[in-house]
Amino acid sequence: MLEARRRTVPGVRRVFRGRRARTDGDFCGQTVRASVSESEQQSGPAAMIAALNVPRNAKLGFGLAVLVTAAIVAVFVLPGTARPSVLYVALAFVLVVSLGGLLTTVFTIVSAVRLARS
């Protein structure tokens, strides 16, 4: 009997959040037509992330951080390393992550200022 309720209709998919289905009073889970859920515009954090170009800023920030870190390693570490190279690899990783996060933040703030002015 329970299996009869769970049958799906072509063109309809179940919407899940985590492991449990969202329900609107029924025990079978909410069903939404695929065309309805895909045509809705983004709202909330997703819209703000898209408007501020955060993914592009992150790619640019971390790419620039990798280049700067490679230049620092080439200039200061490769000519003469007296310590184990594992320490320099760890230091390079920390520099890439921290500089990438900082540059991403700066680029996103610039995008926010430009968006606010337009």
Q: Where are the domains of the chain?
A: 2-39, 45-117
Check whether 107 has a pLDDT greater than 80: yes
pLDDT range class, residue 111, cuts 50, 70, 90: very high
The answer to whether the predicted template modeling score (pTM) of the entire model surpasses 0.85 is no
CB 69 within 8 A of CB 96: yes
Shortest CA distance to 30 belongs to which of 54, 52, 50, 8?
Answer: 8
pLDDT in tens, 51-87: 888 999 999 999 999 999 999 988 887 777 777 778 8
3-state secondary structure of 17: strand
C-alpha to C-alpha distance for 110 and 50, rounded to whole angstroms: 14
